[in-house]
Amino acid sequence: MNFNNTSDFVSDFWTYYISIISIVGIVGCAVLLWMQSSAKHVPGQTTNHVWDEDLQEYSNPLPNWWRWLFYLTVIFSLVYLALYPGLGSYAGVFHWTMRGQYDKEKAVVDAQFNQAYGQLLDKDLVTVAADPKAREAGQRLFLNYCAQCHASDGKGAKGFPNLTDNDWLWGGTPDQIEESISQGRMGVMPAKGLKPDLTGDQIKDLANYVRSLSGLAADSIRVQRGKELFAQACAACHGADGKGNVGVAPNLTDKIWLYGSSEDAIIETITKGRQNRMPAWGEFLGPGKVHLLAAYVYSLGGGVKPTTPEPAVPGSTPEQK
């Protein structure tokens, strides 16, 4: 067992409890071994235990090599518990921890990574995305950390965004992609099916209107009623035209649906709401790996080209332009 600090225990009782059980167990094995080694054995004499009519147990001592191997095991266990954590909150002579070991190994890997790809880290994301060596490294990172949700080809699945199209809730520029990976994202669609919000019939009207926004088949009567409800209940986030807002709400006028475009799926979304979380990888991966990973995601084809700032007019200020 490994405990990094005493906060793992609510009281000293557990430290004593674990320590006593561990030490008594090891010493008990040594005592039992000594008792058996010191017992008198008579060659050729049986213990009067018989199985299957003629299978007898003889009173023979253990071979010396076997007996000393057990003694060495006991000694090794006691030395190990003195050097490494294993007795409750006792840290051991070496003060070894899993976290410390992880940090050391990570530092070695990061140094090797920076040596191999350090020259790419200061380059802009578009340049890195065009580098075959960088894309290959980014793909390996993607398969390790992202493919479980976004699929190995980046096309996602139900509830997990497609990274190869041009639909980006949080923006698809190189900087925005890198920020999403580094800091993570949290998307929340509030539930509208709770009182005193919308009734089931109103939600169905809304669902039909939303379907009509992207050209899907919908009940025309419900569409008219849903349009009025949309302005009251949804336009604040999705915009009056339903085209959404970056970082706030998705575009409802395209044919890209994270949870499905059927009437039932849209009704479920409106009624129960949705919560979608993109974990932050910045602290775990570090800026270098995040940079390569963002470049690979951008290279999948769905990224938005960065805007080029307009050249400043000599002698002018931003307010005069």
For residue range 159-194, list pLDDT tens digits in order: 999 999 989 999 999 999 999 999 999 999 999 988
Q: Which residues pair with 185 in a beta bridge?
A: 278
Q: Is residue 57 part of a domain?
A: yes
pLDDT tens for each residue of 220-240: 999 999 999 999 999 999 999
Query: Do 200 and 64 reside in the same domain of the chain?
Result: no
Query: Do 116 and 34 reside in the same domain of the chain?
Result: no
Q: Is residue 253 part of a domain?
A: yes
Local structure of 195: helix, strand or coil: coil
66: left (phi over 0), alpha (psi -120 to 50) or beta: alpha
Tell me, what CATH number does 128's domain have?
1.10.760.10
Q: Is residue 309 part of a domain?
A: no
The pLDDT value recorded for residue 166 is 87
Q: Which residues pair with 275 in a beta bridge?
A: 188
Query: Do 150 and 210 reside in the same domain of the chain?
Result: no
Query: Do 198 and 127 reside in the same domain of the chain?
Result: no
Residue 53 has pLDDT above 90, yes or no: no
Query: Do 272 and 194 reside in the same domain of the chain?
Result: yes
Q: Is residue 1 part of a domain?
A: no
The pLDDT value recorded for residue 56 is 85
Q: Which candidate, 107, 30, 118, 25, places its Cα nearest to that of 67?
A: 30
Strand ranges for the chain from DSSP E? 46-51, 55-58, 185-189, 274-278
Query: Do 193 and 273 reside in the same domain of the chain?
Result: yes
* Whole-angstrom distance, CA of residue 223 vs CA of residue 229: 10
- How sure is the predictor about 309, in pLDDT bands with cuts at 50, 70 and 90? low
CB 260 within 8 A of CB 123: no
Task: Tell me if the pTM is above 0.85.
Answer: no
Helices 282-299 and 132-145: angle between axes, nearest 10 degrees: 120
The pLDDT value recorded for residue 1 is 45
Residue labelled with tokens 């398969």:
143
Structure tokens at 206: 């809304």
Q: Is residue 321 part of a domain?
A: no
Query: Do 59 and 30 reside in the same domain of the chain?
Result: yes
52: left (phi over 0), alpha (psi -120 to 50) or beta: left
* Whole-angstrom distance, CA of residue 126 vs CA of residue 298: 8
Mean confidence (pLDDT) of the chain: 87
Residue labelled with tokens 């649906």:
257
Residue labelled with tokens 């706030």:
248
Domain count, the chain: 3
Last residue of a domain, one of 69, 96, 123: 96
Residue 307 has pLDDT above 90, yes or no: no
pLDDT tens for each residue of 107-145: 898 888 777 777 777 889 999 999 998 999 999 999 999
Query: Do 40 and 149 reside in the same domain of the chain?
Result: no
CB 271 within 8 A of CB 191: yes
* Whole-angstrom distance, CA of residue 161 vs CA of residue 259: 10
Last residue of a domain, one of 57, 79, 96: 96
Query: Do 164 and 289 reside in the same domain of the chain?
Result: yes
DSSP state of 249: B
Query: Do 259 and 293 reside in the same domain of the chain?
Result: no
Structure tokens at 244: 């959404």
* Whole-angstrom distance, CA of residue 83 vs CA of residue 95: 8
Domain that holds residue 117: 103-184+279-299
Query: Do 30 and 42 reside in the same domain of the chain?
Result: yes
Residue 81 has pLDDT above 90, yes or no: yes
Indicate the range of 32-41, 199-208, 245-254 predicted with least confidence. Answer: 32-41
DSSP state of 52: T
